[in-house]
Structure 1
Amino acid sequence: MADSDSCRSNHIRHSIHIDGNISPTVEKSIMRIVEKEGFLEYTLDIRNISTNGGNYLANLQEIDVKGKTECGEKEIDLFVKNKLQTDSVPLPLDEAYEREAFYYNELVEIYDKLQEEAKVPVEERLEIAKSYKESNSDTTILENLTKKGFKTCSRLQPISQEFAEISIKQLAKFHALSFALKIRRPEYFESKIKTLNNFMRIDTEMEDYIDKICSTAASSLNNIDHKKRLEKFSTKMIDHYKTLINPPDGLATCLCHGDFRSNNIMILETEGAIDKLIPVDYQLINYGCPVIDFLYLVFTGSDQKLRRDHLDDLKDLYYKTFENFLVHFDVRAQDVYSRERFEKEYWNFLNHGLCSFLIIAPFLFCCDDEIPDLNNGITTINLNFNSPTCKERLCALVDDFVQWGCL
């Protein structure tokens, strides 16, 4: 297909058919995309997406643009994430959308340039969803990967070894690019990355919510000793999040994803094997400690067997990938984030694995008709750890953390 610039017309003849509702903001963005893509006439097919508990910060839509250009028939498929209109979510949604817009509209282009300058082979680069640079504080607009066969893993199933390994490689490259940016564009890093503070706030409402999480989760355990330990864990959990929000000097070192879990990773499979994997959902990016992303993925997604058989291997894979990717930029991993430091921070913040699971489990493992409602605030959420899948995963995690001496 010819480049869109060669297909552009100065006078687009609109022939629009809209099957669905579209906000004025999104409509204006679509019009700009249509012009850039060289459409002479087109129709829009709009469909709302139900995530069945997979997304709590947005209303999602698919928008197919079909029509004619000077070069012939053309179709582009868009994925649109519209900001949830509520004040009850315990996050500053405007800023969350601004951060994702910053990532796709600005930072991705810089990362592409860094990888071009370093002559990183295309097949080895960080996988990034195509953006049309129309994201803003209300909306994120990307290529619709599902039209290419991509999907997310079931939130109810533990991640596979293959999925864990490929995801960890992408995470290591994402972190490594941040360190490369720090060295190649230091002023930009200081002004644009180091200013991205963690969103989470530990106020009285959140402390009460954490107490409720620990007591509710503990009530679902049969082991009396484990039950008592988990009931007391809320104090450690609160202290842990306070450390992440106000990290001591030197702890925060790079740009972190902030929500790196299986629901936020798209995969393309052939005969059950993963061909390609693309992380998405960058609304919670923040300047922090890279090991936090690693722990979040592993402990919200894995079962006990995967952890016992492959956790050390995944740690090795993360650091080896991180190390090898930085070679492209003439950066020694040992100089910017040593293996010794990674191991030290892994053990210092291992509790983040359990904390993350406790926070997210009631959302991940609920039935489709029992999805927690955030409209009335977090303290009103009906927490439940009693589904068979959730209970099994929780018991195994608590067992692991007791054995590691963390609980």
Structure 2
Amino acid sequence: MQFEEKCDYTFHYEKGFEVKKDEDISPHLKLCIKDIVKREGFTNFKITVKVIPTDGGNYLARLFEINIYGTTKSGFNNLDIFVKHIVPDEMITIISITDAYKKEVYAYTELLKIYDKLQTDAKVPHKERFKIVKSYEESSSEFIILENMNKNGYSTLNRLEPISYDFARLSVEQMAKFHALSFVLQREQPEYYDRKIKCQKHCFTFDDEWNKFIENFIQISMQCLDDEMKHKVEKIIPVVLKKYPEYHLKTDTEGTIEEVILIDYQLIQYGCPINDFFYFIFGATDREFRRAHLEDLKNIYHDSLTKFLKYFDMDVNLYFSRKTFDRLYKERLDYGLLLAVWFLPILLVDGEDIPDFSKQPAKDMQFKTDKRLKGRLEGVVHDYMEWGYL
């Protein structure tokens, strides 16, 4: 009897997670799941689907958990898959979603495999490695198929709450290792680096629509500030714009964060490493956290970079010295203010009023923000006043 004759490829939606017909899993994705089923050697199985609400944590994808459980020739098997499926992009003009998905497919199917081999060749201990999520070769510019890390003890944080120190420390360590591997790749495969890495540009489209989107979100931010703060920020933004024209976690049984793993590579680009640090700090922390831990995290980042490069017999001073890090941090710190003013409103959107980028132009969006946005933005402005930038 042929394999196909023994198997039921019906996709069963978990109770409470049914979707409308036009929001169902695409035929192409179903075919890819079937290919995975065949490759894993399932003979009798059931496929269940769970739709994951994004709740303001993702704007470029519909999310699914797919579980395949049944028997193979070797016995029982249970396969948990996580899927990021592209959203309709007719109304989205400020970013090329297709390019974003292509970037992530490249990261998972090519770049991260190279990074994994570099770590293996250098005999980096398992616990010290840059962590990489398993991906499936069926991933495409339509969807990304990954191992479901939620089933392995990982979870995502509440986007509305500032991160903990443990999460920040482990995240910064992973960030440093990711950056270190780019330096290793540049040394080991310079031709590949020039051909494939240096061409990684922004997915954003910097045109009039982008400018209107930014102006709209700035105004949403300004509503949270008093007149004095608003005046200071509005005065410096044009100056800064001329200057820049352009983490899942695993916990133990007591809830202590043990491990962090990076999973989103849709916005990777060739650029200054310090920018990633600013995105993380000003998108995920509040003023109290920064006052207590910012200097420590700067040390952790560079110490981790230094230590990790030693596995490859590389001297950090030849690639990204602490002196260079500190200089760029000071020179580019105002970039963090822009990030906060631009993106905190959408990061801290009210859970009952999540905007849909696929149905309304970003330049026209009006939505409720969580009450915590006011305190977070005021904290950023106070920091920049204290640091002498405002």
Q: 1:283: Cα distance to partner?
A: 0.7
Q: From the superposition, tell whether residues 122 and 163 of structure 1 become closer, same or farther in structure 2 (CA, over 3 Å).
A: same
Residue equivalent to 1:165: 169
- TM-score w.r.t. length of structure 1: 0.88
Q: 1:378 to 1:238 in 2, by over 3 A?
A: farther
Structure 1 partner of 2:21: none
Per-residue deviation, residues 27-59 of structure 1 (Å, max 9, x unmatched) = 121122112211123221011110211110001
State whether structure 2 residue 62 is matched by structure 1 residue 79: no
> In the alignment, which of 359, 364, 367 is matched to residue 342 of structure 2?
359
Matched letter for residue 295 of structure 2: D
Match of 1:268 in 2: 251
Distance 1:240 1:59 in 2: 36
Greater length-normalized contact order (CA 8 Å, ≥ 6 residues apart): 2
| Structure 1 contact 215–230 (Cα < 8 Å) conserved | no
Match status 1:14 vs 2:7: yes
Of 150, 154, 179 in structure 1, the residue corresponding to residue 154 of structure 2 is 150
Q: Tell me if structure 1 keeps the 8 A contact 2:200–2:269.
A: yes
Question: Is 1:139 aligned to residue 133 of structure 2?
Answer: no
User: For the residues of structure 1 that align with 2:33 and 2:222, how far apart are their CA atoms?
Assistant: 49
Aligned to 1:310: 293
**Residues 73-112 of structure 1: pairs in structure 2 closer than 5 A:** 73-89=76-92, 90-112=94-116
Q: Helix, strand or coil for the counterpart of 2:28? A: helix
Which residue of structure 2 aligns with residue 36 of structure 1?
A: 39
* Code of the aligned partner of 1:30: I
Write the distance in 2 (CA, Å) between the matches of 1:320 and 1:327: 11
Matched, 1:300 2:280: no
Residues 1:17 and 1:145: Cα distance change in structure 2 (over 3 Å): same
Aligned residue among 330, 355, 368 for 2:351: 368
Q: Which of the residues 363, 366, 377 maps onto 1:382? A: 366
Asked if the contact 2:95/2:203 (under 8 Å) is kept, the reply is: yes
Match of 2:264 in 1: 281
For 2:314, which of 308, 331, 350 is the aligned residue? Answer: 331
SS class of match (1:270): coil
3-state SS of 1:312 partner: helix
The whole-number CA distance in structure 1 between the counterparts of 2:220 and 2:116 is 46
* Structure 2 counterparts to residues 40-59 of structure 1, below 5 A: 40-59=43-62
State the shift of 1:240 in Å. 4.5
2:237 corresponds to which letter in structure 1?
Answer: S
2:17 is matched with none
The alpha-carbon deviation at position 393 of structure 1 amounts to 0.7
> By how many angstroms is 1:204 displaced?
1.9
Displacement of 1:237: 4.6
- Secondary structure of 2:270 counterpart: strand
Residue 396, structure 1, aligned to residue 379, structure 2: yes
Give the aligned CA root-mean-square deviation in angstroms: 1.8
- The TM-score normalised by the length of structure 2 is 0.92
Aligned partners of 1:365, 1:184: CA distance in 2, in Å? 41
Paired with 2:244 and 2:143, the residues of 1 have a C-alpha distance of 29
Q: In 1, Cα distance between the equivalents of 2:240 and 2:35? A: 46
Aligned residue pairs, count: 377
Percent identical across equivalent pairs? 38
Distance in 2 separating the partners of 1:216 and 1:111: 40
Could you list the runs of 5+ residues in structure 2 that have no partner in the other structure? 14-23
- Are the aligned partners of 1:127 and 1:279 in contact in 2 as well (CA < 8 Å)? yes
